[in-house]
A and B are shown apart, each in its own frame.
Chain A
Amino acid sequence: SATDYKSASPNLILLLGFTERAMRAAIASLLLVVLAIPQHAAAFKENEFKKCAQTSFCSRNRNVHQGANFDVVPASIVLNTATITGTLLNKAFGKHLQLTVTSHADGFVRVLVDESPSVGRYQVPSDVLVSGWENKKQGFKEESRTSAAITLSTGETKVVLHFQPFSLAISVKGVAALQINSRNLFNFEHRRQKQEDDPAGYWEESWMGHTDSKPKGPEAISLDLVFPSFQHVYGIPERATSLSLRSTNGAAPYGEPYRLYNLDVFEYLDDHPFGLYGSIPVMLAHKKGLTVGVFWLNAAEMFVDVVKTRSEVGTQWIAESGIVDLFVFTGGSAPAVLSSYARVAGTTALPQLFSLGYHQCRWNYKDEADVKMVDSGFDSHEIPYDVLWLDIEHTNGKRYLTWDSSLFPRPVEMQEDLASRGRQMVTIVDPHVKRDSSYYIFSEAETAGHFVKNKHGSDFDGWCWPGSSSYLDVTSPVVRDWWAQQFTLDKYKGSTKHLYIWNDMNEPSVFNGPEITMQKDNLHYGNVEHRDNHNLFGIYYHMGTAEGLKLRGSQVDPENGDRPFVLSRAFFSGTQRVGPIWTGDNAAQWSHLKVSVPMLLTLGLTGLPYSGADVGGFFGNPDAELMTRWYQVGIYYPFFRGHAHLETQRREPWLFGEDTTARIRTAVRGRYTLLPYIYTLFRFANTSGLPILRPLWYEFPDNEDLFAVEEEFMVGSAMLVKPIVAPGVSSVDVTLPAGARWYDALSGAMVPPKTRSQRVQVTMDAIPVYYRGGNIVPLRERPRRSSVAQAADPYTLVVALDDKGEASGSLYVDDGRSFAFQQGQYLHRDFTFKSLKLTSTVRLESGVPNGTLTVPTTIERVVFLGLPSSKRGYKALIGGKHAVQLETGPLTMLAPQHENAVVLRKPGLQVSYDWQVEIVAL
């Protein structure tokens, strides 16, 4: 439509006058420049976040040796089967503490310290953990008692409690595992009355214009945990740093302790001890022969120092409030430690199968036409994907659970259209609620008193995307229950059963709050200060939302329900039971691709394996090479999503030229090929708490050279991946641990292991990936448009033999979406290859109902890697009679030129039943 000059009214001309417009543009851009420049001078503005020295509770405890003030009163010791109690005396103040040490049957010892008598210090509510774990105890045996110490044993664990000063030493199988207060860094600040001469920071503290009133005064705790004769500790996410944690007494930025305080950090750096969006106060220490784990159940702000010496790794943990509730996992190995931790904090919820496919996200897919275009782009470029995501702009003015009706006038039709091709949609829902009385969520929550209160007791008002906002007090079960009800199909207008949820900003992020979060003297349900439960806000919000989807699912499918899918940014111990997390706002930089690996490995080692980093990097514009390499690694992220900032260039996989499109297509299809294996790994994560991605040391715990390796990782126990994290790489050094056979996952060629790394040539087409001999890996090789479209496809089994000519593996199958598996509606087969016989048997596990599901699916292909050469080849006897000739062929049709495998073609094996295939050399 032409703006016809002739017909325009004089007023319009006036408005559109050129000089005037130019002036406006000039003024507007001037404003933009003025506002933009200072903000982009630095990314992560270190001085906007507190350091230990600027934090009263940390600075008055860090490296302060007060631990000798605490003695055990010997006469107070009482041993009652699995529990020993005693009194700790703080000699400096004449204050008493109650010490309780309990031995649990699930492989851990719990150490509790609280004031005696109790003054009502905050304890993390039991609903953050699983229920029932407290009851399974295992008795202590008193080994000896002197005036200086008492020695107890439980199973293979020995606990020595020294009296003067208080210290605890724990050993496993005679190997020293942990010492508490051996360096006298323990401290426990008791509640007290305000005194005239109290040091500054006891009762009030200011930071960048925010004043924190501290009505309860000082109540910090310092824990001195030493791992004797260890050199490596891991865990305490979330931060962008190395896998094996560095000492914090080094050069900047590693002169600061690691921090556990959930924060929304703008443009975080790729190598920094600073804490990010989530916190899991869990640490693993590993040495040859022993892995030990600790978990301090405490949700307050926490700083952790790591100091390594030749003889030990010393750690000091300082929390602002709460009590000592320390779990020491003594199972001896990393899998045992993680399984024990899972008994307390829970295992990974079995995800919807679709959620293990590829997710396409962007801030923002603008409107329904954009959604349609992106969706059809995947089909026309033959790239599979499962979920399309809508960021905050889809809402009506950032009022979550509403739609911008000019952009998304027909959300139901849009979702149904995607669903007709087996795809789902995710919308974002954040915990800040726009203060607008015409917004139903706000008015209902306000009326019911569902918001977090400020220190004066009125609804807290903070600034976030919608402007002035209040925050749902999700620490209250009543509020969570109300929140869950907002997700039923009748409540959430424009939603369908194909819509799932993304929880962002749940640290919580408060733009005008201290350190971009909430004031610590805000008040929660039960009159709890925000200081006490800050790190729980994220998990509670996540829980409430997931409960909402569960509720919706129970209405849609009353018999079997629907597993929730809710992505969260903030997290805590236990988040694994709720849903996945991602590593937040990373950047399109090689260094961020690189650090994503140790970040995800760390999450796997702390019980939260279902996690991923934004592929491509959130901020900035990745070039084709970075994009390609990121997808090639990203397909192994347990949570696999591409995402981009509002102001980046469009980056759907086909926008980087044909070569790149082809490479990304191959990569993403590779993910879908691996889904049976990945889903099976998730089953193990669900039953036993085992990680999906694993550091090499987890799989090779006796090889000391591997203890700090983060440049490679294992996917389950069967695959080793070497990411390429720099541009222009034509060859890389790959470490293939000795003691195993390795096969190139593309060519099938056996690669000899070496004690040191070996140089491997690479192209842009793929990164080095290897199958580990001794494993059987189930695949689905047909590239479909989504995981749903794969449902009826046959399987391929890759049988990678070890030195003994043996291999084993398993395949888990269920409906991929409901809770029916909990009633046994699943199929889990074990495959073993031994003495040239491949056998399929049912897998039985204690603690779960036996699988009763049968599916009509067959195995179309069995690929043997590492069979000894036979001049005349092999035949297979199926079920003892039917003989089939085996063929020499490629491991995969992606590399058909490499005929390094022996292939059993169309054996017609049913996955649901027992069978045996015997390989006979001709």
Chain B
Amino acid sequence: MQALFLLTLLASLVLAHGNSLRGVNPDLASHYSGHGGTFTCISGIPKTIPFARVNDDYCDCPDGSDEPGTSACHNGRFYCRNLGHEPRLLASAFVDDGVCDCCDGADETKGKCQNTCLQAAAVRKEALRGKIQLHEHMLKTKNDYVERARAFKEELQLKAPTIEEDIARQQAEVQNLNAEVTRLEEEEAARQAEIAAANQAAEEARRAEEAQQTAVQAEESGSGQGEDAESANTVDSHAEEVRGESQGEREETPEERGRRIASQWTNDPEAAAVEGQTEEHLNADDSGGDDDDGDEEGHYDGTMDDDTEGHFDYPDAGAEHTEYHAEGHHRQQRPDPSSPLGLARTAAFTAARQLQQLQKDRENIGTFLNRPIDFGPDDIFLALANKCFSSYQTRWTYEVCMFDKAVQKEGHSNSVTVGRWYGFSEDYKVMYFSGGDECWNVGPRSMTVYLSCGLDERLSDGEEPSTCAYSAKMTTPAVCTQAELEELQQQMVNLEAFENEVRAQIMKDEL
């Protein structure tokens, strides 16, 4: 395509030399020979006019072809030669309108515009050189992907036949080890309880003395100063009740009324909010959710502190479905790791971790081996299995998880599923996510991700071009092609040849 363009241009160089008519497209130059002193409109209603009427700043031809070099026709086309860069067909409307549209400035009166074509060309050549190098590198990466995908698939195939047995065996093992831990913990607990009881008795005696002195103060300040989590929770849920009640029965405050009216226009409770306030509400409301996460996906009730190792990760197990985090409610004094309890816990922990791995394997087998998902030619996109990519926009973050779903987030609080994995376009240049969360007045949200050849996976330009239909661009070496490289190389060859031609032409012109 590009090559053709340049060839045409080369041909035009010769033609243009012998033709002084402004704005003529070299492809159509034969029409403007002036033979017989007439001009015939090129297309549309047949019409022949005296040749003197060509480019006389009056539109005679319905197709605009008699005025290639003026703005007289509403549908005319002006050809910029843009010597040294790329030619361009410009709408006649932009000819002699005071704006430099062509890099050679031919669309405006002489002297109005600077010729920027050679600069444009030089920049382009440099960019082209870089592009070629990059592309070579990307193709190498692409080959690695194919290899990685193959290895991933082979490994799953290897594990697949025995996975259920392996898991069952490991579950038994974990169970045994956990039982041992429980037994040892009970022993330990009993021991701790004895110590605690003794301590508490002493403590209570001391407190009883203090209590009388501080009671008055505490009441006045009105702050219970809840020292343990339980009392804090009570306060929280109480506040919640109050809020719930008040919304139903109490009259609106002026602020609430303002917010409600504002939200008419925006369908958004935060519309007229002072920054952050509603967000805080949301946070407060769902803070209880943490404890209800359930154990359905291998929740490990470890006893380790959050800050040591709260989660397990696995090679290539990037999906966030499974979450492993230690809960605080077993928090106890940590036993000596070399004690029998310590050793038993470590063993149970290691075994559980191996079970997680096996379960992850089973999930991967289920997802990537047994489901009819199209992973692209040579299964290349399997190299991206379980990976998520994010695009950080000014306000929103978009996250796309391969073969899973796409999410839009605002801050840390609001997150909306904008689509679930649907598949690739036929040419693997587009990924579709559909059936996301419902959107007011529109239906389920959806997201389209446009793939292009790039050095690595980068999600960008996440946006919402129309309501609840999202889009983003993503680069990946997986869609790079040899043909593109060859095209670039050919462009370089053409460009260099063309440059020489132009140089010669300019030298000739200067002589």
Contact = CB atoms under 8 A, between A and B. Distances in A.
A785 B324 CA distance: 60
A463 B262 contact: yes
Interface stretch (A22-30, A211-219, A825-833): A22-30
Given A27-B286, A785-B94, A789-B98, A511 B389 contact: no
A3 B390 CA distance: 6
Contacts of B290: 20
B57 A860 contact: yes
Tell me the dominant secondary structure on chain B's binding face: loop
A32 B269 contact: yes
Interface in A853-878: 860-861
A647 B266 contact: yes
A646 B318 CA distance: 36
B467 A649 contact: yes
Interface in A1-35: 1-6, 10-11, 13-21, 23-25, 27-29, 31-32, 35
A829 to B, nearest CB: 22
Contacts of B273: 467
Interface stretch (B26-34, B152-160, B341-349, B412-420): B412-420
A783 B74 contact: yes
Top-4 shortest CB links A-B: A463-B258, A649-B466, A896-B62, A5-B318
A22 to B, nearest CB: 8
A422 interface: yes
A209 interface: yes
Interface in A775-801: 781-785, 788-789, 792-793
Interface in B58-74: 58-59, 62, 64, 71-74
Contacts of B75: 893
Given A512-B257, A789-B99, A782 B93 contact: yes
A404 to B, nearest CB: 9
B455 interface: no
Interface of A: 1-6, 10-11, 13-21, 23-25, 27-29, 31-32, 35-36, 39-40, 209, 266-267, 367, 379, 382, 384, 397, 406-407, 420-422, 462-468, 510-512, 516, 585, 621, 645-650, 669, 781-785, 788-789, 792-793, 860-861, 890, 893-894, 896-897, 905-906
A58 B75 CA distance: 60
B99 A27 contact: no
A654 to B, nearest CB: 13
Contacts of B98: 422, 788-789
16 contacts: A1-B392, A1-B459, A2-B389, A3-B389, A18-B320, A19-B294, A39-B264, A40-B440, A384-B93, A464-B258, A467-B258, A467-B273, A511-B257, A512-B261, A890-B62, A893-B59
Nearest to B254: A512
Contacts of B131: none
B429 interface: no
A2 B387 CA distance: 7
Contact of B99 (A36, A421, A466): A421
B74 A781 contact: yes
Given A1-B390, A3-B390, A17-B325, A10 B264 contact: no
A16 B293 CA distance: 13
B264 A24 contact: no
Contacts of B266: 646-647
Contact of A13 (B286, B325, B389, B399): B325
Contacts of A31: 269, 282, 285
Contact of A18 (B274, B275, B321, B457): B321
A894 B74 contact: yes
Contacts, number: 229
Contact of B272 (A19, A25, A463, A646): A463
Nearest to A2: B389
A420 B113 CA distance: 13
A645 B265 CA distance: 8
Contacts of A890: 62
Nearest to B439: A647
A28 B414 contact: yes
A647 B417 CA distance: 18
A25 B251 contact: no
Nearest to B416: A25
Interface in B438-480: 438, 440-441, 457-459, 465-467, 469
Interface stretch (B189-197, B305-313, B367-375): B305-313
B317 interface: yes
Contact of A465 (B272, B407, B458, B459): B272
Contact of A906 (B56, B251, B412): B56
Nearest to B266: A646
A708 B415 CA distance: 54
Nearest to B296: A19
B83 to A, nearest CB: 23
A5 B385 CA distance: 12
Given A5-B318, A13-B311, A20-B289, 6 more contacts: A5-B319, A13-B325, A32-B268, A32-B440, A266-B261, A463-B261
Given A19-B323, A462-B258, A29 B289 contact: no
Interface in B476-503: none
A788 B440 CA distance: 42
Given A35-B263, A860-B58, A24 B286 contact: yes
B148 interface: no
Contacts of A367: 394
B486 to A, nearest CB: 30
B293 A20 contact: yes
Nearest to A666: B74
B150 interface: no
A221 B208 CA distance: 77
Contacts of B126: none
A810 B469 CA distance: 51
Contacts of B263: 35-36, 39
B332 to A, nearest CB: 20
B260 interface: yes
A781 B64 CA distance: 13
Nearest to A469: B258
B255 A468 contact: yes
A905 B286 CA distance: 77
A861 B45 contact: no
A464 B257 CA distance: 10
B417 A25 contact: yes
A817 to B, nearest CB: 15
A50 B436 CA distance: 42
A397 B309 CA distance: 41
B285 A27 contact: yes
B470 to A, nearest CB: 12
Nearest to A794: B57
Contact of A893 (B62, B254, B265, B292): B62
B86 interface: no
A32 B281 CA distance: 13
A785 B97 contact: yes
Nearest to B274: A467
B58 A906 contact: yes
Contacts of A896: 44-45, 62
Interface in B357-407: 386-392, 394, 399, 407
B93 A785 contact: yes
A610 to B, nearest CB: 26
Contacts of B73: 893
B272 A467 contact: yes
A511 B56 CA distance: 61
Contacts of B259: 463, 511
A36, A266, A468, A781 pick with most chain B CB within 10 angstroms: A36
B272 A10 contact: no
A539 to B, nearest CB: 24
A861 B269 CA distance: 59
A23 B272 contact: no
Contact of A17 (B260, B320, B438, B458): B320
